[in-house]
Amino acid sequence: MEENFFDRVGGAQTFENLVSHFYALVSIDPILRPMYPDEDLKAAAERLSLFLQQYWGGPHTYSDTRGHPRLRARHAQFPINLAARDAWIRAMKSAVDDLEIDLADREELWSYLEMAAHSMVNLPD
Ligand code: HEM
């Protein structure tokens, strides 16, 4: 049987590494940090990790606990202008670049995340 993306890149651990690197950068980012309501970013990190695991063929825990992703609707309450999008992209790029995965997988992951970030903008600059 052909392995799916989730298994191929190392399963849950890889997504946990990605998201923990990303949130370490969010926690010191002057644009992004104020947008995250919780003092502790752990719950937000868990939601993003579970969403990405599900998207890439892993367990469906995200939808089992959070329902349908509806990502644009869920982000409508946050002011995502181009500067916020670019800050998100910068932090995520650094996290993706740090993963030890094959080049083709890295490119596939990155092109999805970048496209998704562009689609989340909901405010002009
Ligand atoms: C473009 C810039 C983006 C900004 C500024 C942003 C910001 C945020 C904020 C402030 C939250 C709330 C944190 C929390 O869960 O408590 C959130 C949640 C979330 N974001 Fe983003 N986000 C962006 C793009 C993305 C993208 C591209 C994805 C997916 C590829 C994504 C996936 C998620 C998920 C899954 C959640 C949790 C939703 C839930 O279950 O409530 N975000 N985001």
| pLDDT tens-place string over residues 24-58 | 999 999 999 999 988 889 999 999 999 999 999 99
Read off the pLDDT band of 1 (50, 70, 90): low
Q: What span, in angstroms and rounded, lies between the C-alpha atoms of 95 and 45?
A: 13
- The stretch 9-23 carries a mean pLDDT of 98
Mean of pLDDT over the chain:
96
Q: Where are the domains of the chain?
A: 9-119
Give dist(CA 34, CA 48) in Å, integer.
18
Dist. CA 12–CA 17, nearest whole Å: 9
| Number of residues that this document lists for the chain | 125
Q: Is the Cβ–Cβ distance between 47 and 61 less than 8 Å?
A: no
Which tokens hold the place of 119?
Answer: 């689609």
pLDDT category, 99, cuts 50, 70, 90? very high
Pick the CATH number of 9-119 from 1.20.272.10, 3.20.10.10, 1.10.490.10, 1.10.4030.10: 1.10.490.10
With a threshold of 0.85, does the pTM exceed it?
yes
Specify the pLDDT at position 48: 98
Instruction: Give the pLDDT band of residue 110 (cuts 50, 70, 90).
Output: very high
Which residue's C-alpha comes closest to atom 19 of ligand 1?
48
Ligand 1: list residues with CB < 6 Å.
32, 35-36, 38, 44, 47-48, 51, 66, 71, 74-75, 78, 80, 84-85, 88, 113, 116-117, 120
Q: What is the pLDDT of residue 71?
A: 97
Confidence at residue 125, expressed as pLDDT on a 0 to 100 scale: 80
Asked whether the predicted pLDDT for residue 2 surpasses 80, the reply is no
* More reliable by pLDDT, 37 or 115: 115
